[in-house]
Amino acid sequence: MNLLKEMASRDRVFDFMAPARSPVDVRHGPILYLEDVSVSFDGFRAINDLNLTIDDGELRCIIGPNGAGKTTMMDIITGKTRPDHGSVWFGSRHDLLTMNEPQIASLGIGRKFQKPTVFEALTVFENLELAMAADKRIWPTLTARLSGEARDRIDEVLVTIGLTGHRDRPAGILSHGQKQWLEIGMLLMQRPRLLLVDEPVAGMTEQEMERTAELLTGLAGKQSVVVVEHDMGFVRSIARTVTVLHQGSVLAEGSMDQVSSDPRVVEVYLGTESDNTEDARC
């Protein structure tokens, strides 16, 4: 049974069998739709009958204590982890569970990892160049030459993320915050419809945090943005709608004020907030 499923997903490896990239259909409501999703590791239920919808152009914050399943949820959306059951739709046309990571990425879902992952050996400019929407098959990549238009676009993003001065430096020597921005910049180069951002301000200074908040709120509207974050101050500063995850399912959803006054949330999360400042992985 598993084998069949796997084969069904494997055939997508071939280009000619994969559906041509079609625009995301958001006429019928949300851009992202998770229904009854569950997954367990070694008997531990990381995600438990999770239901979640994100509207087009929305900026959503997701909070929750350690082990609530935030990162696992992102893994499921981006195709890294397969759920045991449930369905995940991007718009009303694309069943994400039938696709692999690059396919999902080329649909327009961008992801920023918890730990900033940029290509440290490459320059800032090259990082953005690789992220740029382009024909990403082998031969075109091998023979690719950068057009003036693309150069302009990269410079544009460099300005947006404030790294113009570091254009030709290896990404590895950037500061932590700069790496975070570079990663967001890379997502922007992809021209995504949906951005998944995992703990964007962890380890940032106050100023950096402000700059990041500006960046993200600036993005909302053009793109849908989902932010997973621990820092309550930061969440409060950017969020319109907040979803609280607990033990793999949604505990509460609403504005920050609504949520923080919910007694259940206070009990499981806010009450223990101080312990969670230095979380590495949930």
Residues within the interface to other proteins (CB under 8 A):
10, 13, 41-42, 44, 71-72, 75, 78, 80, 101-102, 105-106, 110-111, 113, 117-122, 126, 129-131, 133, 136-138, 141-145, 186, 190, 281
Minimum distance of other proteins from residue 202's CB (angstroms):
16
Nearer Cβ to other proteins (12/93): 12
Cα–Cα distances in angstroms (integers) from residue 250 to residues 49, 231, 242, 259, in the given order: 9, 19, 11, 12
Nearer Cβ to other proteins (85/136): 136
Minimum distance of other proteins from residue 110's CB (angstroms):
7
Minimum distance of other proteins from residue 2's CB (angstroms):
11
Nearer Cβ to other proteins (12/232): 12
**Given the structure tokens 């004020």, which residue do they identify?**
257
Minimum distance of other proteins from residue 250's CB (angstroms):
21
Minimum distance of other proteins from residue 60's CB (angstroms):
19
Cα–Cα distances in angstroms (integers) from residue 195 to residues 44, 87, 100, 209, 271, in the given order: 28, 19, 17, 18, 29
Phi, psi of 124 (to 5 degrees): -55, -45
Nearer Cβ to other proteins (135/206): 135
Nearer Cβ to other proteins (41/264): 41
Nearer Cβ to other proteins (10/151): 10
Radius of gyration over alpha carbons of the chain, in Å?
Answer: 19
Minimum distance of other proteins from residue 88's CB (angstroms):
16
56-66: b or e for each residue (b if 16 or more CB lie within 10 Å)? Answer: bebbbbbbbbe
**Helix %, strand %, coil % of the chain (to 5):** 45, 25, 35
Minimum distance of other proteins from residue 275's CB (angstroms):
14
In sequence order, which ranges of the chain are alpha helices (DSSP H)?
A: 2-10, 70-77, 101-107, 124-131, 138-143, 148-161, 176-189, 206-219, 232-238, 256-261, 263-268
Q: Which of 96, 137, 112 is nearest to 200 (CA)?
A: 112
Is the separation of the CB atoms in 86 and 35 below 8 Å? yes
Nearer Cβ to other proteins (102/218): 102
Phi, psi of 176 (to 5 degrees): -55, -50
